[in-house]
Chains A and B, each alone.
Chain A
Amino acid sequence: MNSPLVAEKTAVNFIMLKVLAALLPAIAAYVYFFGPAILVSIALASVTALASEAAVLHLRHYPLRVYLTDGSALVTAWLLALSIPPLAPWWLIVVGTLFAILVAKHLYGGLGNNLFNPAMVGFAALMISFPSHMTHWTAPDVLAHSHWSFAQQMDFMFGGISPADSKLDAVTMATPLDTLKTQLHLERTVAEIQSSPIFSTLSGKGTEIIALLYLLGGLFLWQQRIISWHIPASFLAAMFGLAGLFYLYDPVHYASPLFHLFAGGTMLGAFFIATDYVTSPTTPLGKLIFGAGIGVCAYVIRVLGGYPDGIAFAVLFLNSAVPLIDAYTQPRVFGHAGKWFNGRKE
């Protein structure tokens, strides 16, 4: 993109800092709508990630300062913390982060060698192992039946103690996607379900603003040329297109495509998770295929599968296809006949 003569500062830590900065507006909105517990989750995940990263780097005799300050562990920690319920017990986020850093990242060889997105591996491990903890999402403050003070939230996260007069169920509720799924099984129409107060113009109350701010942060990253447009655009277009087809076919039983774009983890996934350099294809065409594949898989899992949201599983699934996508979309090298992987046989 730039002329090769213009030196540009593109160290890994610079990129990662911008990614973290792009997440800040959405985190601010998160705090506004769901309370400050998310900040504790993020801090806990960051400390765990840095500590485990440092431990592994030490074991592998890598220079600590260079690799620890590259920020990649922090990005993993933040993405994971933003993907799991903010009032989750402390050990949940610690186990998830440890799994992400130790198993998904370093067992595969560390930054640059991991096949799967570490944050999503951590998420999937938690989702499979502790499904009930992973579905207790905090209700937006305006809708919750009772309100916990920050101290009460901390008591719950670190001691498992909920206040005497209210249970965890009083401050949590199903997410819009989850509600939609369970209510549709009860033979209700989408319009009826969406008249419930947790829904709003775009998706859910509060969550739609956060999703919009993820979109904004993503556009900032694109403007800064940290990410290219290919993956988010094809991801969102594929999901919009598929959801649109189903919506046109039967608007009574399928939510509108706009709802799907702003519900669940779509925006976070499209701009921050799927665009991870290490685990996405390198060629523009490959990126388009990759993004579209995630969009389609996520929609299918979300609507037809057993889980309320499917971003994580779709990303992991397409991660495993990246080597193949890369092999098939490699441009022909000038002066060589055929594709790259044919030419390599000689």
Chain B
Amino acid sequence: MSTVNYKEIVWNGLWKNNAGIVALLGLCPLLAVSTSVVNGVGLGIATIMVMTCSNAIVSLVRQWVPGEIRIPVYILIIAVLVTVIDLAMNAYVQALYLVLGIFVPLIVVNCNVLGRAEAFASKNPVFPAMVDGFMVGLGLTLILAVLGGMREILGKGTLLSGIDLAFGASAKAWVITVIPDYHGFLLAILPPGAFIGLGLLIAGKNWLDQRQRAKPQPLHVPEASAMTA
């Protein structure tokens, strides 16, 4: 606890203990919202903000919260933050807010948020806790973006469709048509596409890890024990 290894926090959040494809936490919004890059990243950014702030606040009050009631306290903190994000999104990016619908308020019960508060923020100083919340959220956002991109290209043949929801009508021109004159493989947009896509991402990650492990690693120094509880 005396020395915080930021490199490891970053590595854990983005890859080794990625919320989306390793910890498999908060799958409901992950599967439901990743129908396009814009939707996925939209929810991802909201989650990043909530997680960074909630980790910071939980870390600030960690000395004074009695162990027996820590979960309700954390949930209250998270709920306050989500309400702020929810109202802010409704005010500034309302079109996107309407598309994401119930999944923005549902960030309250996203187990990633509570999980990091419990596993990391409640045991660490403020700044590392914020970095951890940000990195785990970013890892989740990356998965949402990749899965959203896969499903969008396969399902609609476009990329970044709906970007005008976030940046106004002028952003319509940013939409990339990957496959012109495409019939649309609807299955990719529907729930089965989310499950198959996530399965492929997990397989891809495991494959990359396996290949890495198979390589001879002369300078491999075992790092300190993982930060996850």
Residues on A facing B (Cβ under 8 Å): 91, 95, 103, 107, 125, 128-130, 133
A133 to B184, CA, bound (A): 12
Q: Please, how many angstroms separate the alpha-carbon atoms of A128 and B196 in the complex?
A: 15
Given A125-B187, A125-B192, A128-B192, 15 other A-B residues pairs in contact with their CB atoms under 8 A: A91-B183, A95-B185, A103-B196, A107-B199, A128-B186, A128-B187, A128-B190, A129-B184, A129-B185, A129-B186, A129-B187, A129-B188, A130-B183, A130-B186, A133-B183
Instruction: Name the 3 nearest CB pairs between A and B, nearest first.
Output: A129-B186, A129-B187, A129-B185
* Shortest Cβ gap from A208 to chain B (Å): 32
Tell me if B's interface is mostly helix, strand, loop or mixed: helix
Docked pose: A255 CA to B64 CA in angstroms? 73
B161 to chain A, nearest CB (A): 18
Interface residues of B in 89-128 (CB under 8 A from A): none
CB-CB nearest in chain B for A133: B183
State A125–B189 Cα separation when bound (angstroms).
Answer: 12
Distance in Å: Cβ of A206 to nearest Cβ of chain B? 28
Give the shortest distance, in Å, between A81 (CB) and chain B (any CB): 19
**Whole-angstrom distance from the CB of A337 to the nearest CB of chain B?**
40
Q: How many A-B residue pairs have CB under 8 A?
A: 18
A selection of 8 A-B contacts at a CB cut-off of 8 Å is: A91-B183, A103-B196, A125-B192, A128-B187, A128-B190, A129-B187, A130-B183, A130-B186
Most buried by A among B184, B188, B192: B192
| Complexed CA–CA distance, A107 and B192 (Å) | 14
Closest residue of A by beta carbon distance from B183: A130
The answer for the CA separation of A128 and B186 in the assembled complex, in Å, is: 7
Which residue on A lies nearest to B190, using beta carbons? A128
CB of B191, distance to nearest CB on chain A (Å): 10
- A45 → B minimal CB distance (Å): 18
Chain A's closest residue to B200 (CB) is: A107
A62 CB to nearest B CB, Å = 18
Residue from A125, A128, A129, A130 with most neighbouring chain B CB atoms (10 Å): A129
Q: How far is the CA of A16 from the CA of B184 in the complex (A)?
A: 34
Give the CA-CA distance A128 to B155 in the complex, in Å. Answer: 12
CB of A140 to closest CB in B, whole Å: 27
- On chain B, the residues within 8 Å of A95 by CB distance are 185
Q: How far is the CB of B155 from chain A (nearest CB, A)?
A: 9
Q: Which residues of B contact A91 (CB under 8 A)?
A: 183
- Chain B nearest Cβ from A117, distance in angstroms: 16
Q: How far is the CA of A218 from the CA of B118 in the complex (A)?
A: 61
Residues of chain B lying within 8 A (CB to CB) of residue A130: 183, 186
Cβ–Cβ < 8 Å partners of B184 in chain A: 129
Complex CA gap A303/B42 in Å reads 42
**B-side contacts of A129, CB under 8 Å:** 184-188
Q: Which residues of chain A are within 8 angstroms of B196 by Cβ–Cβ distance?
A: 103
What is the bound-complex CA distance between A26 and B117, given in angstroms? 64
A125 to B188, CA, bound (A): 10
Quick one: closest B residue to A103, CB to CB? B196
Nearest residue, chain B, Cβ from A89: B183
Chain B residues, CB < 8 A from A103: 196
Complex CA gap A103/B190 in Å reads 16
